[in-house]
Amino acid sequence: MAKTFYWYPKCGTCRNAKKWLDQHEVDYNEVHIVENPPSQSRLQEMMEKSGLDIKKFFNTSGQKYRELGMKDKIKTASKSELLELLASDGMLIKRPLMTDGEKVTVGFKEEDFEKAWL
C-alpha cells in the first residue's frame, strides 16, 4: 500500500516532516488533514496498527482541543466517541499522521521517521 501523509500545510512540524520525506526521496500521497480527515474506521485501524493509545492521536496543544474541553472529555468518553470526534475535525488530530497500511507514525521525530519510512 502506498504511504499516506496526512498534514496541515500551515503547521511547522508538518512542513518539517514533508521536507524530511522529500530530502530522503520517500514516496507518499499527500492528504490535507483538515479538508479530508481520515474516517473513523481508518483512524481505528491506524490506532490498532500503531499500538498507541487513542489519546496519542489528539492534538493536545491545539486550540480546538481546548475549545471543546477535550482534556476532561477524553477521560470519560468511549473509544468510539473519541474516534468519532477525531474523524469529525482534522484539527483535533495530532499531525502529521503517516501510514502505509502497516506502520503508523504520529507527529514528527526524525528517528521515528528513519525507523519507519527509510
Phi and psi of 55, rounded to 5°? -60, -30
d(CA 90, CA 8): 9
Q: What is the pLDDT of residues 48-76, one digit of tens each?
A: 999 999 999 999 999 999 999 999 999 99
Nearest to 60 by CA among 82, 38, 31: 82
d(CA 95, CA 36): 13
Domains of the chain: 4-117 (3.40.30.10)
Set of cell numbers at residue 112:
521515528
Is the pTM higher than 0.85? yes
pLDDT tens track, the chain, 118 positions: 799 999 999 999 999 999 999 999 999 999 999 999 999 999 999 999 999 999 999 999 999 999 999 999 999 999 999 999 999 999 999 999 999 999 999 999 999 999 999 9
Amino acid at 24: H
One-letter amino acid identity for 13? T
